[in-house]
Amino acid sequence: MTTLLIATRNAHKVGEIQAILGADFRCLTLKDFPAAPAVVEDADTFAGNATKKAVELARWLAQGESGKRKAESGNFFVLADDSGLEVDALNGAPGVHSARFAALDKTENSHDADNNAKLLRLLKDVPLEKRTGRFRCVIALAEVHPPSSILHPRLFDGACEGRIQFAASGHGGFGYDPLFVPDGFKQSFAELGEDVKNKMSHRAKALDKLKEFFNNQDTKTRSL
């Protein structure tokens, strides 16, 4: 079984990732490693932030005894993602600042309600046909090696196109889900529910590529 350290303490995100990956993966989180260093997400791209988190945490794990033991047993990886909402009318904002869109201090996340309120305020005069955007996700996968070394994580990306509605609706999901209506639907992600979202979301598409990578690796191993 492959063990993944999901580089987040966000319970909603962890639950979503575990549901999509399924039982073939054993998922740990940063709550299982309370001494893990905080990684500042200061890159200007999703790929940059995901890569930085994956590499720094994999190196930290490789230096600790528990990480070394897991690495020596094989199939131990750090999975770090960065994701957010890109709104065309705002030139791609909030983008990498999605989680802290409403905060004055850009190093700290803001509350979902505050982020949503700011987004609606900025789009108040934008007509429906111009409220297009997408959720985008980039996942970095770094293997934990016993000796710490320069790591080059594999990247997997996904996007989900849609539009921003004029008011929040639904009580499910998190983040901008109450405002985002995916193409082909009339309900927001918060209304559609986890089962629907987990089949078509930006994160689901990136994780599907990750699962395909592991499936191909298993196929190569069995053929040897």
Query: Which pLDDT value is given to residue 218?
Result: 64
Q: Could you read off the pLDDT of 15-50 as tens digits, one per residue?
A: 889 988 988 898 999 999 999 999 998 999 999 999
Q: ω before 94 within 30° of 0 (cis)? A: yes
pTM value is 0.88
pLDDT tier at 74, thresholds 50, 70, 90: low
Q: What is the CATH number of the domain that holds 158?
A: 3.90.950.10
Q: Which residues pair with 2 in a beta bridge?
A: 25
The whole domain housing 214 covers 2-223
Is pLDDT at 219 greater than 70 in this prediction?
A: no
When divided into structural domains, the chain yields a total of 1
pLDDT tier at 146, thresholds 50, 70, 90: low
In the residue annotation, 82 being an active-site residue is answered as yes
pLDDT tier at 63, thresholds 50, 70, 90: confident
Is pLDDT at 220 greater than 80 in this prediction?
A: no
Share of residues in the chain with pLDDT > 70 (%): 88
Dump strand ranges (E) for 59-213: 76-87, 132-143, 154-164, 180-182
> Which one of 32, 44, 81, 82 is the catalytic residue?
82
Q: 30-34, 112-116, 126-130: which range is least confident on average? A: 30-34
pLDDT tier at 140, thresholds 50, 70, 90: very high
To 10 degrees, the CA torsion angle through 193, 196, 197, 202? -170
Query: Which pLDDT value is given to residue 199?
Result: 92
Query: Which pLDDT value is given to residue 210?
Result: 95
Burial class (CB in 10 A: 0-12, 13-18, 19+), 67: buried
